[in-house]
């Protein structure tokens, strides 16, 4: 149950969410709630073809339509040198198509009118003459020598974007040559989409008198967006104010800069009026940052008893028409090389080839921690393949191979330094709590009766919290984060952070950290994010980085305030600074517990009665560059029953034991886990964005692209272990993505386990009932 916001020492307590009253009462302020005087609306014209030459565009009829103020084409943007924009992955992307289109639903023209309806109607009157070109949908075919080269703007000899590798190839091969056991498995992580309830959108408001552009935008990274917009448009950065209001779910979808944003800005600059653009669901699903689409092959070399020696992974990554993946610059495949997971491999070698195809760009989104989701799914799936091959129980096999507690900080064969972990403890708790042995007995009895029951385990390791800035940057912008705290004379606090939450509860959890450090309650602290004119510079909220980075900044910033507070306390208590002690609630004179002052007394004195020579006021800013990433982990167990008649899989139980170090708010962490598990469940069983041969997108709305309802969703059981991060100021690790990273493998492992008696070794996601039904019939199983 939630704890009151007025409690002191709130860290680690389930304080009720400060943001909820406004959301529950419909008082949230999302982009589409904002209506400015004189505002115009924009609608985009999109390509029906996946690959086609643009012969001509006729905008004359649209220009004549009622209410229309402006129609923009790629040629218009080219005249302003804005037809292309840089992507976060060192590629460039068309804002509006010039010459040709490269994917279905690509942006071709923008129509701006007095009302949304007028803009939508007039967009139908933009006539584009296309000459269809051969389409490349399959990334393997895209790499064949006779494949058409898609990107004429780059000097490409093939559709390969990058080849990237990690680990020691020679040493890995050597271990494979002599290994008693080798298993190999092809694993596909389908193309999926974060699909937040609120699609993307913005309002660009250019003031012709002041030259200032206010840009309201659904943004997970407002400061980074401001810098990029300044660099692309040439507008001075202090004349751009980015406001990311309440965000109705991000899940990575709101990290990139989209063509619609740029068009709205151009339109406002040209017309001197505010221009609003809000996507439809179909536009969101078909054209904005998709996720995954990894075709992976993993091989494990092991001893007869299942102890692992080496891992070899080859991956084809389908990036679509532009490489717009939001990865740190030095990591074109994100942090995928964490693929050795929780296991003590001696060597590993990982290769990823990024490929262009005629699909929408994107690549990293949907609770992914920069491709860790793919990595965790792969290793957890293949560990099960190995377990089956060597005939060892999958829980036992994992225990045999875990990196042991004493090995931390652990250096992985692909170069990561894991900060801390206790994998055995977490798995032991999960096995105990779910009643693993009992379940295996039940399964044996059911198998004897011909019933299909499966148990799936995933003991994943996550890696979150980029910085440190020496290794991580996005487009050259170093990855650290920030907090600024101002204590008012009455002891009330406003804190501003460089990140931007989208539902994660920062207004509560970061208030808890600050209140804890200052001897206040959560109620005393307002946390504000998302306005670049007021918040200190930060890189934003994604990759579960907020707690590891801005959370650290908040704690250290509060400690900076406490340092000054201590000096003022000494002055008020009339003792030396070294004689002042802080017990989490009040400051007192050593040995004189009756003489105390609180932060409220100190705050008032900071503005009215500071010691001589001291600067008045009580505020601080802290830019925190973490020394390392944090490595949360978890042990997840799924129990499924399969209906032989329909192929339907019922998830009977699901237990998630997470370890994200020190927990700031257990209720919020549990909520994060529930949400992420529901997404992992959807990915495992119902989500996919397929294309036909002509590049037509076959999942364009929520009738085809499924989002689970409360009725579909299993009941989640959760628990936790706590292994603090040794380098984080309060020992916390991120958690937002863990459940999505860790759960798909548990679901799939459970289904494969249920079908193992039939000789099934792997099924690719999504596991639709028809897929299972087909497998059952192929193996002669009837009702």
CB of 124 to ligand MCN, least distance (A): 33
- Residue written as token pair 């390509």: 47
**Residue 500 touching ligand CUN (CB under 6 A):** no
Return the one option of ligand MCN, ligand CUN, none that residue 669 interacts with (CB less than 5 to 8 A, by type).
ligand MCN
557 in active site: no
Integer Cα distance of 330 and 415 in angstroms: 14
Which residue in 706, 642, 727, 636 sits closest to 674, CA to CA? Answer: 636
- Do 581 and 4 touch, CB atoms closer than 8 A? no
Total chain residues near ligand CUN (CB under 6 A): 12
Return the one option of ligand MCN, ligand CUN, none that residue 506 interacts with (CB less than 5 to 8 A, by type).
ligand MCN
Strand 213-217: give its sheet, edge to edge: 68-73, 107-113, 40-46, 275-278, 201-206, 213-217, 240-243
CB of 686 to ligand CUN, least distance (A): 19
Return the one option of ligand CUN, ligand MCN, none that residue 316 interacts with (CB less than 5 to 8 A, by type).
none
Total chain residues near ligand MCN (CB under 6 A): 36
CB of 682 to ligand CUN, least distance (A): 14
**Residue 472 touching ligand CUN (CB under 6 A):** no
User: For residue 288, how far is the Cα from the chain centroid?
Assistant: 14
CB of 326 to ligand CUN, least distance (A): 7
The distance in angstroms from the start CA to the end CA of the chain is 45
- Do 343 and 460 touch, CB atoms closer than 8 A? no
Which residue in 106, 99, 93 sits closest to 47, CA to CA? Answer: 106
| List 222, 248, 252, 454, residue binding ligand CUN (CB under 6 A) | 252
- Do 70 and 272 touch, CB atoms closer than 8 A? no
CB of 664 to ligand CUN, least distance (A): 18
- 506 to 545: interface string for ligand MCN, x by CB under 6 A: x--x-------------------------------xxxxx
Q: Which is nearer to ligand MCN, 11 or 606 (CB)?
A: 11
Query: How far, CA to CA in Å, does 755 sit from each of 188, 452, 453, 716, 773?
Result: 19, 7, 8, 23, 11
CB of 470 to ligand MCN, least distance (A): 21
Q: Which of residues 471-490 bind ligand MCN (CB under 6 A)?
A: none
CB of 245 to ligand MCN, least distance (A): 14
CB of 365 to ligand MCN, least distance (A): 7
User: For residue 608, how far is the Cα from the chain centroid?
Assistant: 45
Which residue in 279, 281, 316 sits closest to 297, CA to CA? Answer: 316
**Residue 412 touching ligand MCN (CB under 6 A):** no
Integer Cα distance of 642 and 649 in angstroms: 5
Q: Which residue is nearest to ligand CUN (CB)?
A: 252
CB of 110 to ligand CUN, least distance (A): 27
Q: Which is nearer to ligand MCN, 191 or 501 (CB)?
A: 501
**Residue 503 touching ligand MCN (CB under 6 A):** yes
Query: How far, CA to CA in Å, does 211 sit from each of 39, 217, 235, 442?
Result: 17, 19, 9, 71
CB of 311 to ligand CUN, least distance (A): 23
Return the one option of ligand MCN, ligand CUN, none that residue 661 interacts with (CB less than 5 to 8 A, by type).
ligand MCN
What SS3 string covers 190-202?
EEECCCCCCCCEE
Which span sits near ligand MCN by CB under 6 A: 387-395, 430-438, 487-495, 496-504?
Answer: 496-504
Query: How far, CA to CA in Å, does 248 sit from each of 217, 292, 500, 686?
Result: 12, 22, 12, 22
438 in active site: no
Which tokens in the block code for residue 732?
Answer: 């916390």
- 14 to 53: interface string for ligand MCN, x by CB under 6 A: ----------------------------------------
**Residue 200 touching ligand MCN (CB under 6 A):** no
**Which residues are 362's β-sheet partners?**
290
Largest Cα span, the chain = 89
Q: Is 731 helix (H, G, I), strand (E, B) or coil?
A: coil
**Residue 720 touching ligand CUN (CB under 6 A):** no
Q: Which of residues 245-304 bind ligand MCN (CB under 6 A)?
A: 249-252
Q: Which of residues 203-242 bind ligand CUN (CB under 6 A)?
A: 220
**Residue 736 touching ligand MCN (CB under 6 A):** yes
In terms of residues, how long is the chain?
783
Which residue in 546, 40, 46, 126 sits closest to 288, CA to CA? Answer: 46
**Residue 732 touching ligand MCN (CB under 6 A):** yes
Which span sits near ligand CUN by CB under 6 A: 115-123, 361-369, 475-483, 672-680?
Answer: 361-369
Which span sits near ligand MCN by CB under 6 A: 283-291, 446-454, 497-505, 649-657?
Answer: 497-505
- Do 142 and 357 touch, CB atoms closer than 8 A? yes
CB of 420 to ligand CUN, least distance (A): 22
Q: Which of residues 566-625 bind ligand MCN (CB under 6 A)?
A: none
**Residue 668 touching ligand MCN (CB under 6 A):** yes
What SS3 string covers 153-183?
CCCCCCCEEEEEEEECHHHHHHHHHCCCEEE
Q: Which is nearer to ligand MCN, 502 or 700 (CB)?
A: 502
Query: How far, CA to CA in Å, does 394 sit from each of 377, 401, 659, 764?
Result: 15, 11, 21, 19
What SS3 string covers 225-287?
HHHHHHHHHCCCHHHEEEECCCCCCCCCCCCCCCHHHHHHHHHHHHHCCCEEEECCHHHHHHH
Which span sits near ligand MCN by CB under 6 A: 244-252, 297-305, 756-764, 766-774?
Answer: 244-252
Q: Which is nearer to ligand MCN, 251 or 322 (CB)?
A: 251
170 in active site: no
Instruction: Kindly name the residue from 220, 443, 512, 687 that is annotated as catalytic.
Output: 220
- Residue written as token pair 């692209």: 705
- Residue written as token pair 């890189």: 539
Instruction: Kindly name the residue from 263, 368, 557, 697 that is annotated as catalytic.
Output: 368
**Residue 250 touching ligand CUN (CB under 6 A):** yes
Return the one option of ligand MCN, ligand CUN, none that residue 467 interacts with (CB less than 5 to 8 A, by type).
none
Query: How far, CA to CA in Å, does 661 sit from each of 155, 339, 482, 515, 655?
Result: 47, 21, 21, 19, 19
**Residue 744 touching ligand CUN (CB under 6 A):** no
| List 44, 368, 483, 748, residue binding ligand CUN (CB under 6 A) | 368
Integer Cα distance of 72 and 243 in angstroms: 25
Instruction: Kindly name the residue from 226, 367, 398, 496 that is annotated as catalytic.
Output: 367
Return the one option of ligand MCN, ligand CUN, none that residue 668 interacts with (CB less than 5 to 8 A, by type).
ligand MCN
**Residue 465 touching ligand CUN (CB under 6 A):** no
Which residue in 611, 495, 476 sits closest to 557, CA to CA? Answer: 495
Which residue in 512, 622, 621, 695 sits closest to 130, CA to CA? Answer: 695
**Residue 199 touching ligand MCN (CB under 6 A):** no
- Which parts of 409-483 fold into alpha helices (H)? 423-434, 436-448
Q: Which of residues 535-594 bind ligand CUN (CB under 6 A)?
A: 542-543
| List 49, 261, 349, 366, residue binding ligand CUN (CB under 6 A) | 366
737 in active site: yes
**Residue 367 touching ligand CUN (CB under 6 A):** yes
**Residue 665 touching ligand MCN (CB under 6 A):** yes
- Do 160 and 262 touch, CB atoms closer than 8 A? no
Binding site for ligand MCN (CB under 6 A): 196, 249-252, 367, 501-506, 509, 541-547, 660-665, 668-669, 672, 675, 732-737
Q: Which residues of the shown chain bind ligand CUN in the complex (CB under 6 A)?
A: 220, 250-252, 255, 364-368, 542-543
- Residue positions annotated with a catalytic role: 220, 367-368, 737
């Amino acid at each position: 149950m939630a704890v009151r916001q007025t409690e002191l020492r709130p860290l680690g307590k389930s304080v009720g969410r400060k943001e909820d009253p406004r959301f529950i009462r419909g008082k949230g302020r999302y982009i589409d709630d904002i209506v400015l005087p004189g505002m115009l609306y924009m609608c985009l014209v999109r390509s029906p073809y996946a690959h086609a030459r643009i012969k001509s565009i006729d905008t004359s009829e649209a220009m004549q339509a009622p209410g229309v103020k402006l129609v923009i084409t790629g040629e218009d943007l080219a005249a302003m040198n804005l037809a292309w924009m840089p992507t976060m992955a060192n590629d460039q992307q068309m804002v509006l198509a010039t010459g040709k289109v490269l994917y279905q639903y690509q942006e071709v023209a923008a129509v701006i009118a007095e009302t949304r309806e007028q803009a939508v109607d007039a967009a139908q009157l933009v006539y584009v003459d296309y000459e269809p070109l051969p389409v490349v949908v399959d990334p393997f075919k895209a790499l064949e020598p006779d494949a058409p080269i898609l990107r004429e703007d780059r000097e490409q000899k093939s559709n390969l974007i990058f080849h990237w590798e990690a680990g020691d190839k020679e040493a890995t091969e050597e271990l494979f040559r002599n290994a008693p056991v080798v298993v190999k498995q092809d694993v596909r992580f389908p193309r999926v989409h974060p699909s937040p309830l609120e699609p993307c959108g913005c309002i660009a408001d250019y003031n012709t008198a002041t030259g200032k552009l206010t840009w309201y935008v659904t943004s997970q990274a407002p400061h980074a967006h401001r810098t990029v917009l300044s660099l692309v448009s040439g507008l001075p950065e202090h004349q751009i104010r980015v406001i990311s209001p309440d965000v109705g779910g991000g899940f990575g979808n709101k990290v990139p800069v989209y063509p619609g944003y740029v068009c709205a800005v151009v339109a406002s600059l040209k017309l001197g009026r505010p221009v609003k653009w809000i996507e439809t669901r179909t536009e969101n699903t078909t054209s904005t940052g998709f996720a995954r689409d990894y075709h992976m092959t993993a091989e494990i070399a092991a001893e007869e008893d299942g102890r692992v020696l080496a891992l070899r992974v080859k991956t084809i990554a389908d990036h679509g028409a532009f490489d717009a993946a939001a990865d740190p610059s030095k990591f074109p495949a994100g942090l995928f090389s964490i693929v050795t997971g929780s296991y003590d491999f001696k060597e590993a070698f990982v290769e990823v080839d990024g490929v262009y195809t005629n699909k929408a760009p994107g690549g990293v989104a949907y609770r992914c921690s920069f491709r860790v989701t793919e990595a965790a799914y792969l290793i957890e799936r293949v560990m099960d393949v190995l377990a089956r091959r060597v005939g060892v129980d999958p829980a036992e096999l994992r225990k045999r191979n875990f990196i042991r507690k004493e090995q931390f900080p652990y250096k992985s064969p692909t170069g990561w330094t894991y900060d801390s972990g206790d994998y055995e403890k977490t798995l032991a708790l999960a096995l105990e709590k779910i009643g693993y042995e009992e379940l295996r007995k039940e399964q044996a009895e059911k198998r004897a009766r011909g019933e299909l029951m499966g148990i799936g385990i995933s003991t994943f390791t996550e890696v979150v919290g980029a910085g440190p800035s020496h290794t991580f940057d996005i487009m050259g912008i170093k990855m650290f984060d920030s907090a600024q705290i101002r204590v008012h004379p009455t002891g009330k606090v406003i804190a501003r952070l460089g990140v931007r939450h989208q539902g994660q509860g920062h207004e509560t959890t970061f208030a808890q950290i600050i209140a804890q450090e200052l001897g206040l309650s959560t109620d005393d602290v307002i946390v504000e994010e998302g306005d670049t004119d007021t918040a200190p510079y930060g890189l934003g909220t994604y990759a579960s980085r907020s707690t590891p980075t801005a959370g650290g900044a908040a704690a250290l910033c509060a400690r900076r305030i406490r340092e000054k507070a201590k000096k003022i306390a000494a002055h008020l208590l009339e003792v030396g600074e070294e004689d002042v002690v802080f017990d989490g609630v009040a400051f007192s004179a050593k040995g004189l517990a009756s003489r105390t002052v609180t932060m409220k007394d100190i705050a008032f004195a900071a503005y009215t009665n500071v010691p001589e020579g001291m600067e008045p006021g009580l505020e601080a800013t802290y830019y925190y560059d973490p020394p390392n990433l944090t490595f949360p982990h978890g042990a997840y167990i799924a129990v499924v029953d399969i209906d032989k008649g329909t192929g339907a899989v019922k998830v009977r139980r699901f237990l998630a034991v997470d370890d994200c170090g020190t927990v700031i708010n257990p209720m919020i962490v549990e909520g994060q886990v529930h949400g992420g598990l529901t997404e992992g469940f959807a990915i495992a069983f119902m989500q996919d964005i397929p294309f036909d041969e002509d590049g037509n997108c076959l999942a364009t709305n929520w009738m085809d692209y499924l989002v689970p309802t409360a009725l579909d969703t299993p009941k989640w059981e959760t628990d936790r272990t706590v292994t603090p991060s040794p380098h984080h100021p309060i020992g916390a690790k991120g958690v937002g993505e863990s459940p999505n990273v860790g759960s798909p493998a548990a679901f799939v492992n459970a289904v494969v386990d249920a079908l193992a008696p039939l000789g099934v070794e792997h099924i690719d996601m999504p596991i639709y009932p028809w897929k299972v039904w087909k497998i059952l019939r192929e193996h002669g199983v009837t009702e």
